[in-house]
Amino acid sequence: MEFFNSSIFMLDSSIRLTVPLLLACLAGLYSERAGIFDIGLEGKMLAGAFAAATVAALSGSALYGLMAGIGVSIIMSLIHGVASITFRGNQIISGVAINFLAAGLTTLLGQTWFRQGGRTPQLSGDARFTGIELPYAAELADVPIIGGIYSELLSGHNILVYVAFAAVPITYYVLFHTRFGLRLRASGENPKAVDTAGVNVNFMRFKAVIITGVLCGIAGAYLSTAQSAGFGNNMTAGKGFIALAALIFAKWMPIRALFATLLFGFLDALQIRLQGVELPMIGEVPVQLIQALPYVLTVILLAGFIGKAVGPKAGGIPYVKER
Amino acid sequence: MSVRKPLPRWADLILIPALNLTLAFLVSGLVVLIIGESPLEAVQILLFGAFGYGEGLGYTLHFATNFVFAGLAFSIASHAGQFNIGAEGQAYIAGLGAILVALFLDQTHWLIVMPLAMLAAGALGGFWGFVPGYLAAKRGSHVVITTIMFNFIAASIMVYLLNNVLKEPSNMAPESASVVNAGKMPQLREFWDFFGFAPVNVMLFVAIAALIFTYILLWRTELGYKIRTLGKNPDAAHYAGISNSAIVMISMTIAGAMAAMIALNEVLGVQNRLVLDFVFGYGFVGIAVGLMGRNHPIGIALAAILFGALYQGGQELAFMMPAVTREMIVVIQALVILFTGAMEGLFRGPLETIFGLIEFSKNSDAETEKDQHKDSKE
């Protein structure tokens, strides 16, 4: 029973750590499926987190914070879009620029506005997203197994957690069962065909990039107004890149993205749990090994040693309409 | 008729980068204004801090040394058509080679330590570039993603090694033992006290040599020709009998070895021991340096000095204008990458039109003159 409880606890913390990865991963999915590489997920999340925490602190409302986070993240997305779609610039370079821009501006503006070394004021009460108790969670808590799963694992998360998990089937449906999704995917595989069908490829790609902005904004808001109570310097700490790794790991598929990010989220929870713990037989596991695992796995997968990850065919190539 | 024509060479090489850079600086000035400081005053402080006195100049050159290596690491790979954003990790892992050699040979002479440390660091950094190169050439991995992952893997390895292997038992901080004698790179201030306390050291000359080496390699050797051919047109390279995969691996290895030299400049030139995150983002700046320098050694040298000045002047600025923190430099860097790299096409279109119109009116002038000439003859 104790083992069961601690596993539930581990899974619970895995879920919390998975959420920003999942949102960012789905964000990247829309963009890359439409043919726009995005290594600026990290920067957009960071900017979103900062905007959300700032507005939440000033207005006292987490919802306004979320909207600001999404707004700022969309602006960053549009910069990426203008550079790589309108001016046909290099998408990787643009992504690098976005990451630097976010890292620099958030700390600079944070220090100017709040003078707390780049941190935003501590959030409390309505300025944060707090857990939602699912119906009968308290009553069911004592029921063996089911009670633990229901009231610990499923209940008590904040709204953004449920949004993130709901985004998986929605993304699946939108991408594979709507006309919009078909056109979006075609823009990333064979833009010429989309153009021939009379659909504006660049406009299509802009739509995808904006959705990326929305999801990154939610991920950022989750970090600064739900998981933590405020923004801290560089608080994304590479999560955008892990999400990118997860996207490749998931082979650009929404349902697989869920499992890939759950795996990486679990590894993160495991790494936190194992810090300084002596395991029987093995001794102390170096946490850095577990931290590096998502990256190592991605490299191995990308190299085709376990399966093969092939991205959208027209990814990274600006579309030039024939004259 | 279409008036658009490719730009003249000078406009492509000088005018467009200058315009993009100006735009980046104008937007940076706007950011300074938003923070509530005077951009003009900021520029003055920055310029004086970077060039106005010996120590400032020394720091500028020290940073520029790093940026030359980082820029070359980006550019050499870039000439082969590979996007190397792994200079950060390549330099980080190379620090291991540099410090181990220096610690082992600390009681000899720097003339012995330096080449061997360069070799060891270069081997490790080169290896860290080679593997993504190999995976790209033989297994079809995307170099961008692999080098990003390798940056993180390098960071994890170094954290582990510094905490568990290299750390002195008596020391709480995760850092290696210090070199005290021959392991330190000779500082220019030892010969010329003009430089004050600035850590500019012999690696500056290595950087200059690396620039010349790169020029000769790329434009005066067969290998360089192959590298550039591959970058321009992989199909043509293949058809010409060049082994594309070999060239990818070789260029990525050279790029990694270039990035590795940052380790000597920082670990043996400043810190005298291996510390966490000593690369400090210099590897990423290399992307901006390479882009701005148009992947040419002369351009890279100029861009490296510009960024060296920004880093040193920026520190001065943070000191004199506390509202403008060090991150201002990161913002400027981002804007430079954005405007000179990603939005490079911003001015190209309008300029092509303008130049086309000038050309067009010149030609038509000449034609009308000719016509008049004909008329008078008749």
Q: Tens digit of pLDDT for each residue in B98-152?
A: 999 999 999 999 999 999 999 999 999 999 999 999 999 998 888 988 999 999 9
Please tell me which of the candidates B85, B145, B152 has its beta carbon nearest to residue A238.
Answer: B152
| Token reading at B209 | 């040599």
Low-confidence ranges of chain A (pLDDT < 70): 1, 306-308, 322-323
Cβ contacts of residue A164 below 8 Å, gap of 6+? A18, A19, A22, A23, A218, A219, A222
pLDDT value of residue B371? 63
pLDDT value of residue B124? 98
Q: Tens digit of pLDDT for each residue in B16-54?
A: 888 888 999 999 999 999 888 899 999 999 999 999 999
User: Across chain A, how many H-helices and E-strands are there?
Assistant: 13, 2
Query: Which residue of B32, B148, B161, B249 to mutate against A (max A Cβ within 10 Å)?
Result: B148
User: Across chain B, how many H-helices and E-strands are there?
Assistant: 15, 0
Q: Tens digit of pLDDT for each residue in B160-216?
A: 999 989 988 888 889 999 999 888 999 999 888 889 889 999 999 999 999 999 999
Please tell me which of the candidates A104, A296, A302 has its beta carbon nearest to residue B330.
Answer: A104
Rounded distance between C-alpha atoms, residue A29 and residue A33, angstroms: 6
Please check whether residue B21 touches A, CB under 8 A: no
Query: Which residue of A32, A78, A100 to mutate against B (max B Cβ within 10 Å)?
Result: A100
pLDDT value of residue A121? 86
Q: Tens digit of pLDDT for each residue in B250-287?
A: 999 999 999 999 999 999 999 999 999 999 889 989 99
The model's pTM: 0.90
Could A104 and B157 be called an inter-chain contact, meaning their C-beta atoms sit closer than 8 Å?
Answer: no
pLDDT value of residue B377? 54
- Across-strand partners of A279? A283
Rounded distance between C-alpha atoms, residue A7 and residue A93, angstroms: 42
pLDDT value of residue B164? 87
Q: Tens digit of pLDDT for each residue in A48-105?
A: 999 999 999 999 899 999 999 999 999 999 999 999 999 888 898 899 999 999 999 9
Alpha-carbon dihedral of residues B69, B70, B73, B75, nearest 10 degrees? Answer: -100
| Token reading at A303 | 């190299």
Q: Tens digit of pLDDT for each residue in B84-106?
A: 999 999 999 999 999 999 999 99
Query: Which residue of B20, B141, B346 to mutate against A (max A Cβ within 10 Å)?
Result: B141
Residue in chain A nearest B82 by alpha carbon: A92
User: Do the Cβ atoms of B159 and B153 come closer than 8 Å?
Assistant: no
Rounded distance between C-alpha atoms, residue B328 and residue A108, angstroms: 7
Q: Where are the domains of chain B?
A: 68-304
Hey, what amino acid is at B284? F
Provide the shortest C-alpha distance from residue A108 to chain B (in Å).
6
Please tell me which of the candidates A103, A241, A304 has its beta carbon nearest to residue B140.
Answer: A304
Provide the chain B residues 108-147 that lie in CB contact (below 8 A) with chain A: 135, 139-142, 144-146
Chain B residues touching A104 at Cβ < 8 A: 327-334
Sketch out chain A's domains with CATH numbers: 2-127+140-302 (1.10.3470)
Residue of B344, B345, B333, B269 whose CA lies nearest to B306: B333
Please check whether residue B159 touches A, CB under 8 A: yes
Total count of residues recorded for chain A: 323
pLDDT value of residue B1? 43
How many inter-chain contacts (A to B, CB under 8 Å) are there?
146
Please tell me which of the candidates A82, A88, A107 has its beta carbon nearest to residue B327.
Answer: A107
Quick one: angle between helices A239-249 and A2-33, nearest 10? 80
Rounded distance between C-alpha atoms, residue B58 and residue B191, angstroms: 13
Chain A residues touching B324 at Cβ < 8 A: 108
Rounded distance between C-alpha atoms, residue A185 and residue B188, angstroms: 58
Residue of B67, B95, B62 whose CA lies nearest to B276: B95
The ipTM estimated for the assembled molecules is 0.87
Hey, what amino acid is at A30? Y
